[in-house]
């Protein structure tokens, strides 16, 4: 027997697919740039276009909310998410995914602190422990670059900026859910926001690039479709399960799979500081999200804590 407020296990297949899709995407997302020197802004353009596929599925048979509240929150959520994607693709071209994604997974720290400052939400000991672990993890990553030159610091700075952008995004997702905006409309506005930033990406390249083999955009479309469809699985999992369970899965297990695949497929060898940072980042992310979702359970079907 199921019904409103009665937990079911229907979310498990979708959460599992989400972890697989986002974990694999994280590990191979930089391949088009590494194999074909495909510009990272062009990767963004292709990603924004692939968002149309899950957007169509999520809005099929549903009414798209065009009201001021939905549009305002939707654009804020979409622009912070899409802006983070634009920075993430640049970071992945110059830094290792097994370091970048654990840093990005710390975005709940930003959400928790914003909720504490702006919404006066009370934070328990687990939340503060998670924030502390997050800060220690960032310090460990910052002292472990060992790459030399500016690029070693640049990808860390970009990863932190993505973390901040997606933390702010999750904060506005929570406010949108409390305001009654449904997840399908939020996802639709996220897709529109991603498309709106395409001209910015094109300007960054000085125009649309030519002369690349067809394999470059094809591989990009394949990898980024994993990203976009994974976001749809998140919506489906959140609408069927408790956010206190689904959110830690998305913030911790997907980066774990990315790390494992990156190490296996590309033979990377993280330093001792990086391993410690990865462990602390994932632990901190899980603690913060678990505590935050127990304190403020979002409206059923919301996509709090996600970025497509």
Over residues 265-282, the pLDDT tens digits come to 777 666 676 677 777 766
Give the pLDDT of residue 120.
61
Give the pLDDT of residue 86.
92
Give the pLDDT of residue 181.
83
Contact of 237 with 300, CB cutoff 8 Å? no
Contact of 287 with 126, CB cutoff 8 Å? yes
H or E element: which one contains 280?
helix 272-295
Calpha distance 110→118 (Å, rounded): 12
Calpha distance 161→127 (Å, rounded): 21
- Every domain of the chain and the residues it spans: 11-295
Give the pLDDT of residue 77.
87
Closest CA to 236 of 19, 11, 2, 3: 11
Contacts 24+ apart (CB under 8 A), 61-70: 62/182, 62/184, 62/185, 63/185, 64/184, 64/185, 64/188, 65/181, 65/182, 65/185, 69/176, 69/179, 69/180, 69/181, 70/176, 70/181, 70/185, 70/186, 70/189
Give the pLDDT of residue 189.
93
All residue ranges of the chain with pLDDT < 50 are 1-7, 146-150, 244, 296-308
Calpha distance 40→34 (Å, rounded): 10
The Cα diameter of the chain in Å comes to: 60
Calpha distance 123→255 (Å, rounded): 25
Closest CA to 248 of 287, 275, 276: 287
Calpha distance 266→33 (Å, rounded): 15
Give the pLDDT of residue 172.
83
Give the pLDDT of residue 192.
95
């Amino acid at each position: 027997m199921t019904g409103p407020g009665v937990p079911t296990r229907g979310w498990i297949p979708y959460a599992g697919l989400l972890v697989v899709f986002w974990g694999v995407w994280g590990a191979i997302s930089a391949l088009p740039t590494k194999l074909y020197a495909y510009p990272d802004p062009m990767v963004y353009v292709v990603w924004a276009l692939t968002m149309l596929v899950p957007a169509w599925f999520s809005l099929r048979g549903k009414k798209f909310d065009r009201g001021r509240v939905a549009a305002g929150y939707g654009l804020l959520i979409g622009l912070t998410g899409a802006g983070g994607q634009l920075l993430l693709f640049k970071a992945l071209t110059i830094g290792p995914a097994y370091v970048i994604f654990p840093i990005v997974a710390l975005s709940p720290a930003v959400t928790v602190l914003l909720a504490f400052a702006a919404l006066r939400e009370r934070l328990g000991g687990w939340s503060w422990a998670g924030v502390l672990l997050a800060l220690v993890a960032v310090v460990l990553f910052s002292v472990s670059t060992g790459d030399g030159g500016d690029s070693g610091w640049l990808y860390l700075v970009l990863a932190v900026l993505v973390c901040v952008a997606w933390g702010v995004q999750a904060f506005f997702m929570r406010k949108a859910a409390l305001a009654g905006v449904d997840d399908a409309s939020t996802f639709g506005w996220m897709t529109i926001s991603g498309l709106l930033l395409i001209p910015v990406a094109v300007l960054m390249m000085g125009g649309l690039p030519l002369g690349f083999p067809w394999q470059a955009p094809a591989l990009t479309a394949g990898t980024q479709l994993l990203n976009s469809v994974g976001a749809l699985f998140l919506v489906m999992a959140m609408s069927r399960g408790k956010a206190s369970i689904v959110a830690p899965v998305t913030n911790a297990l997907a980066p774990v799979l990315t790390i494992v695949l990156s190490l296996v497929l590309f033979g990377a060898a993280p330093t001792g500081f990086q391993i410690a940072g990865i462990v602390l980042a994932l632990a901190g992310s899980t603690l913060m999200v678990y505590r935050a979702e127990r304190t403020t359970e979002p409206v059923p079907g919301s996509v709090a804590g996600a970025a497509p």
